[in-house]
Structure 1
Amino acid sequence: MSEQETVSFGYEDVSPTEKTQRVRGVFSNVASRYDLMNDAMSGGMHRLWKDRFVRRVKPRQGEQILDMAGGTGDIAFRMAPSGAAITVADINPEMLGVGMKRAQERGLTGLVWTEANAETLTFPDKFFDAYTIAFGIRNVTDIPKALREAHRVLRRGGRFFCLEFSTTTWPGFGEVYDAYSHKVVPQLGKLLANDPDSYRYLIESIRRFPDMPSFERMIGEAGFVRTQVEPMLGGLVAIHSGWKI
């Protein structure tokens, strides 16, 4: 991707560099209120979706797992009881700071925390058994590049799992959620966090994200096989997966 090309930042088209900087700013703003943000966007259901997601990942004792864009620890905390060695990576240091504080409060000392860009990982080839990313891929500037990096750092037989908002196919439900998300969520952001703009971007970023078949195709183009999509609420949110062979 050249610097002359544009990418979406919500409903705006901006340069890749500007998107990276602005996304960093959004998550710096919302880091301390991350659970509040997710509750606002999902009506609290994100907690159930994350539980289901980790059940699909099936983390196991002794595995090396990379949880990308996992700064506040939501997914890592759910995987930790498995005994897997979990590296939590995030581009945003404020999000990592929240996660490390939460881990300390829970007495979880075995997690590795690292600042990292999903597009330019510094981990060696074929290092991890699983790669997870929950509600983070749509904020990446160059999604295909991030998917290729996920493929690179996984061992043969490694698995990729992504939890992300998508486009519901249930008749009528999409319109109801659109109205809620565009009108209510930014107002909640203003009321609860005095930050309607960040919440507005997060909703707009969902609308600009590829639909389920398109994103599954992107995962396959990155080199993964046996790709699958598990929609929830008709595809309002979906678990995407693939394997490296």
Structure 2
Amino acid sequence: MNDSVSFGYEDVSPEEKTERVGAVFSNVAKKYDLMNDAMSAGMHRLWKDRFVRRVKPQPGEQILDMAGGTGDIAFRLAEHGADVTVSDINQEMLDVGVERAMERGLDSFVWSRQNAEELSFPNRSFDAYTIAFGIRNVTHIAKALAEANRVLKFGGRFYCLEFSTTEWPGFREAYDAYSHHLVPQLGQVLAGDADSYRYLIESIRRFPKMPEFEQMIRDAGFVRTRVEPIMGGLVAIHSGWKV
């Protein structure tokens, strides 16, 4: 298959990946926080706090939070006074975010169903673009990065939080065993869905290594790129600027 992309450990057509990833997130939308807790042993909350500190949102800034359907990042950004547009390709994920915002009495967000590869926003619309644990699920990552660059203003900043591959000896092997064997079992017990959790773990293993992904960000036109590994690279914060 010449034009194939990865879906976990499988190689599938781009159309099939888009469809199957959509089904995964439709299945796990209601259990998304539970999913992240299972995959990270609850550490994702601390990583997201750290991520938003790096973004340094300012009052009145226009920020696009892509693949942010449930609002986890958006709520944190808004605490600093930023005006946040929350976008996701999956309507079920957005529905969860809207419900959570209503429960918190928050009504300042724009909720917009969007494909990261083909955003409907005009050029130079946003001061910052954030994406947390979403870029690896995009069918064509390079297209999504190019779109991120397009919708950012000059001087705008790109921030991505994503799982990677830890380089800590010993811990890497322990995490591999935990993630491949225990996480799908937890998914079955807690959410009745082992297959979706198995895909999410496999998608981490197929995601480009940190230096390779940083180069992809540069290729999309960003400068002053930086990678900040967390826990030896288990998770990484990638950033770049549009000039």
TM-score normalised by L of structure 2: 0.99
- Aligned residue for 2:86, secondary structure, equals strand
Show CA shifts across 1:72-108 (max 9, x none): 0000001112111100000000000000000000011
Q: Distance in 2 between matches of 1:4 and 1:100?
A: 40
For structure 1, the residue ranges without an aligned partner over 5 or more in a row are none
For structure 2, the residue ranges without an aligned partner over 5 or more in a row are none
Tell me what 2:21 maps to.
23
Query: Which portions of structure 1, spanning 4 or more consecutive aligned residues, are displaced by more than 3 angstroms?
Result: none
Tell me what 1:80 maps to.
78
1:202 aligns with 2:200: yes
Q: Distance in 2 between matches of 1:148 and 1:242?
A: 12
Counterpart amino acid of residue 104 in structure 2: R
1:211 aligns with 2:206: no
Tell me what 2:30 maps to.
32
Tell me what 2:242 maps to.
244
Show CA shifts across 1:22-59 (max 9, x none): 00000000000000000000000000000000000011
Show CA shifts across 1:147-167 (max 9, x none): 000000000000000000001
Tell me what 1:234 maps to.
232
* Pairs within 5 Å for 1:85-234: 85-234=83-232
- Aligned residue for 1:82, secondary structure, equals coil
Q: Return the offset for 1:240.
A: 0.1
Q: Return the offset for 1:179.
A: 0.2
Identity %: 75
Moved more, 167-176 or 223-232: 167-176
Q: Distance in 1 between matches of 2:39 and 2:150?
A: 32
Tell me what 1:12 maps to.
10
- Aligned residue for 1:122, secondary structure, equals coil
Counterpart amino acid of residue 171 in structure 2: F
- Aligned residue for 2:97, secondary structure, equals helix
Q: Distance in 1 between matches of 2:212 and 2:185?
A: 31
Q: CA RMSD in A?
A: 0.8
Show CA shifts across 1:89-128 (max 9, x none): 0000000000000000001100000100000000000110
Counterpart amino acid of residue 149 in structure 1: E
Q: Distance in 1 between matches of 2:199 and 2:3?
A: 20
Q: Distance in 2 between matches of 1:209 and 1:83?
A: 33
TM-score normalised by L of structure 1: 0.98
Counterpart amino acid of residue 60 in structure 1: Q
